[in-house]
Amino acid sequence: MNAAPEKTKHGLAAGLEAAPENPDWTIDQGWERYSAEEHGVWKTLFERQSKLLPGRACRAFVEGMQQLPMRADEIPDFRRVSDVLMKHTGWQVVAVPGLVPDDVFFDHLANRRFPAGQFIRKPHELDYLEEPDVFHDVFGHVPMLMNPALADFIQAYGQGGMRAKELGVLDKLARVYWYTVEFGLLQEDGGLRIYGAGIASSRTESLFCLEDPSPNRIRFDLERVMRTRYRIDDFQESYFVIRDLDELLELAQIDFAPIYQRVGQAGDLQPGEVLESDQLFTRGSGDYHRARRAAANASTDADTDAAART
């Protein structure tokens, strides 16, 4: 039996002892050091998402991609990407080894620097990766940074992040980022379109979020989203839909302090929970996650029976 390939940890996942010398965790991208295999992984991912997203991704994503120096045959050079971004929205992409501490992340965003993982996944990890890599960060996120509304919203999120951390409510604010910037949908051309990077960079979730009958698709409501837990290990059970990207700018004008208090008193909601007050685009069947939970329970019962027999 072949052993499973060993997983390499990056950035914060590798521990604080692996932190870069720079206190902001930035490193040299080392573009010249990418191997042919690494460029090949980018090419595979780029080509299949580029074929999949037309008609599924929002116009802002498609237009951003067209304007940026990104192509299928090589991992983008952050310097060239930043030159274009800076001229359009004042943002730049900075290389980091992987996940970074919260305060570092917020400081970068507040100063219009997007920290992007410098590494790329291995060929056997095309469909699932525990840590965000250069494909997720650059292909998924950067095209949307060409849009002024999204660019301003992410800066505002960075500015609000440290305040949320001080108040002990970072988990509530993180849910807003998760259900918008990472896994958000919006209304466009009479249907739903993808703008979240976690979806746009995933072949399977690009299909699941729009076409599978299982998940809920719910009109975005700030307090509702702040109360809703999310999944980090599988498809989302619920997706939240904004009217347009300008709605995100409206959020940036709100004083979140009293909202945090109300949300804390109301309590958390499970990822697939539906409320009577929800405005539903689609009430999901829940079949996908129900089957996953049943399989997990069956596996646990089998392990328990095996242990009892030994």
**CATH number of the structural domain spanning residue 132:** 1.10.800.10
What does the buried/exposed string (b/e) look like for 40-67 if buried means 16 or more CB atoms within 10 Å of the residue's CB? ebbeebbeebbebbeebbbebbbebbee
Q: In this structure, is residue 227 part of a structural domain?
A: yes
| Active-site annotation holds for 205 | no
Q: Which of 182, 202, 237, 289 is catalytic?
A: 182
Q: Is residue 94 part of a domain?
A: yes
Q: For residue range 25-61, what is the model confidence (pLDDT) as tens digits?
A: 999 999 999 999 999 999 999 999 999 999 999 999 9
Residue 309 placed within a domain: no
Summarised one tens digit per residue, pLDDT across range 158-216 is 999 989 999 999 999 999 999 999 999 999 999 999 999 999 999 999 999 999 999 99
Residue 289: active-site member: no
88 assigned to a ligand binding site: no
Which residue in the list 38, 82, 201, 238 is annotated as catalytic? Answer: 201
Catalytic residue among 38, 82, 131, 141: 141
Q: How far, in Å, CA of 296 to CA of 82, rounded?
A: 44
Is 124 annotated in a binding site? The answer is no
Domain count, the chain: 1
In a domain, 13, yes or no: no
Query: For residue 14, is it within any domain?
Result: no
Task: Report phi then psi at 192, rounded to 5.
Answer: -105, 140
10, 108, 136, 289: the catalytic one is 136
In the numeric block, the tokens 């839909």 are attached to 241
Q: Residue 1's pLDDT band (boundaries 50, 70, 90)?
A: very low
Asked, for residue 303, whether it belongs to a domain, the answer is: no
Is 90 part of any domain? yes
User: Between 182 and 131, whose confidence is greater?
Assistant: 182
Q: Which domain holds residue 52?
A: 19-297
| 3-state helix, strand and coil shares in percent for the chain, rounded to the nearest 5 | 55, 10, 35
In the residue annotation, 141 being an active-site residue is answered as: yes
Whether residue 34 lies inside any domain: the answer is: yes
Average pLDDT of the chain is 92
Interval 235-272: pLDDT, tens: 999 999 999 999 998 998 888 999 999 999 999 999 99
Instruction: Report yes or no: 256 and 160 within 8 Å, Cβ to Cβ.
Output: yes
182 is catalytic: yes
Q: What is the mean pLDDT of residues 290-308?
A: 70
pTM, rounded to two decimals: 0.92
d(CA 252, CA 257): 13
